[in-house]
Structure 1
Amino acid sequence: TGPAYRKLGGRVVYSVEDLQAWVARGAVTSTSDPRGTVLPAKRHSMSGVLPGSLVR
């Protein structure tokens, strides 16, 4: 899915190297080239989440 991340408190941070490697996996040089292995984000279930708990 996406690049590796780290959580610092409530923030999600990425290293530059991890972002560059993730982008490179999806890089192509022509529209006829087969695509890399970058996959779309996965949808997560909202079951078990209390109403209003995601509002800040």
Structure 2
Amino acid sequence: MGRAVVALATDPDRARWNGRSLSSGGLAQVYGFTDVDGSRPDAWRYLREVQWAGRPADVTGYR
């Protein structure tokens, strides 16, 4: 989440995000940053593709 804050703070066009709810996973796709372990977690994709689809939980699909 800290990397998302840095990306937003240094974006000269950050006003485009005003009034929106953002996820760090979505911002990682836009700004290209990763988690400290080099992965790019996407909780919403995990919910859609794994949990809501009834598949077994697996961290591999999340990261």
Judging by fraction of residues, say which structure has more strand. Answer: 1
Which range, TM-score by smaller chain? under 0.3
**TM-score, structure 1 length as denominator?**
0.24
Flag the structure with more relative contact order, 1 or 2, with Cα contacts below 8 A and sequence separation at least 6.
1
Judging by fraction of residues, say which structure has more helix. Answer: 2
